Structure 1
Amino acid sequence: MFATPLGDDGAELGPLEPWQAPEFLAHMDRGREFVGRYIALPDRVTDLASSRAYLQSYAEHAASDTGRILGIRTDGLLVGGVLFRTMDLQAGTAEAGCWLEPSAVGRGLVTRASRVIIDWAVEERGVHRVEWLASSENRASIAVARRLGMTRDGVLRESYVHRGRRLDTEVWSVLAPEWRAARGRTER
């Protein structure tokens, strides 16, 4: 319901809501180690209660207009997602992110889904700057940032601890005029 097709291969982008916690948990269980290599999401979603709480937190972000979470499905199966971890509409900034289970890798799903949410943020919500933060070791996420036409702003050295290791964070971004130019659009 309310899904956006991501192409003609059966992939679609749609809401992830608290009532979908069992499906979200099953998805995390399928991709837990793969997804958790660089992000904490599978460490936070470990049982039904934490799955529901995680999705509830994003329902609250959506209600306060400070974030969003959407699922990527292929043939009806939840295989990943994209989100705005943060959104500050007054400042005109948002931080996008993603995850994908191993069965769905290599199909361009994250890139296609990210285009949809960035388009929405820029064109519908007036966001001026969309950021993409990724571990310097996460080559796949960095490749998505490049495919989205983002610019590498810099590296935050050893900026976060993940599973006992200090990791560097690469900061990538795209500005609304750059996004529109790449999409063949003009300023609204």
Structure 2
Amino acid sequence: MFKVQIDSKTYIQTLEKRHAHELYQLINGSRVSIGEWLAFPTKTKHVEDSEKFIENSLKRFTNGNGYWAGIWHEGKLAGSIGFLYIDWTAKKTEIGYWLGAAAVGRGIATIAVKQFNEPAFNELNLKKIEINVASHNTKSRAIPERLGFQHEGTIRNYEYLNGEYLDREVYGMLREEWRTGNESVACNEV
């Protein structure tokens, strides 16, 4: 598969079945913080659930319909990032990401999202990247805003999670808006 070194402490690598235990442990140890904004922790009850997730992601990768990768920081799995799908007709994708509780606030997700722009625009030749974020998740909203994504609107009552309806903010970046190398995003930025 692939591995991309982002800086001396951080790299992104395709999730493989051998990562299932480490992925499950990260989700299990951060169940509350991740589950505040995303539904998948409640569905991840055993290592086998992580194995199945990785297996499905690799199938999607093989079929050209997105994939998930792990984000490693200082030698430990810190989170995950992926192309949720690839719409080849519209030439767009959506980037999803999450971090374990210990990795939040270090700029790790920001540099990972920035890194994912390059293959979306250059290798896959897509025209647009979207990021959807829970409206009240200010830390996650700061990532597309910091990277120059445009706020395109709010999807009201997007999902029902933890006993309440959550709205989603939609951010987008068009190929012509993308700036490579014009901004320096370090791993310690918040």
- Contact 1:6 1:109 (C-alpha < 8 Å) held by counterparts: no
Match of 1:130 in 2: 129
| Structure 1 residue 2 displacement after superposition | 4.4
Q: Aligned pair count?
A: 182
Write the deviation string for residues 73-123 of structure 1: whole angstroms up to 9, x where unpaired.
112210111111111123201010100012111221111111111111111
Aligned-partner Cα distance in 2 for 1:2–1:160: 33
TM-score when normalising by structure 1: 0.91
**How far 1:62 moved relative to its partner?**
0.3
- Structure 1, unaligned stretches of length 5 or more? none
Offset at residue 163 of structure 1 (A): 2.3
Secondary structure of the 2:30 match is: helix
**SS of the counterpart of 1:127?**
coil
Paired with 1:2 and 1:134, the residues of 2 have a C-alpha distance of: 27
> Which residue of structure 2 aligns with residue 84 of structure 1?
83
**SS of 2:106's equivalent?**
coil
Name the CA distance, whole Å, in 2 between partners of 1:109 and 1:89: 29
Q: For each residue in 1:19-41, what CA deviation from the matched residue of structure 2 results, as whole angstroms up to 9, or x when unmatched?
A: 32111101111211111110112
1:45 and 1:21 map into 2 onto residues whose CA distance is 11
CA RMSD of aligned residues (A): 1.5
- List gaps (5 residues or longer) in structure 2: 183-190
Partner amino acid for 2:117? I
List aligned pairs for 1:102-141, cutoff 5 A: 102-141=101-140
Partner of 1:171: 170
How far residue 184 of structure 1 moved from its aligned partner, in angstroms, is 6.0
Amino acid at match of 1:5: Q
1:183 counterpart residue number: 180
Counting aligned pairs with the same residue, the percent is 29
Partner of 2:97: 98
- Deviates further, 67-76 or 149-158: 67-76
SS in 2 for 1:46: coil
* Whole-Å separation in 1 of the counterparts to 2:69 and 2:123: 16
**Is the contact between residue 18 and residue 59 of structure 1 (CA under 8 Å) also seen in structure 2?**
no
Report the TM-score when normalising by structure 2. Answer: 0.90
Distance 2:80 2:147 in 1: 16
How far apart, in 2, do the equivalents of 1:79 and 1:134 lie?
19
Cα distance in structure 1, aligned partners of 2:54 and 2:181: 35
Cα distance in structure 2, aligned partners of 1:23 and 1:147: 30
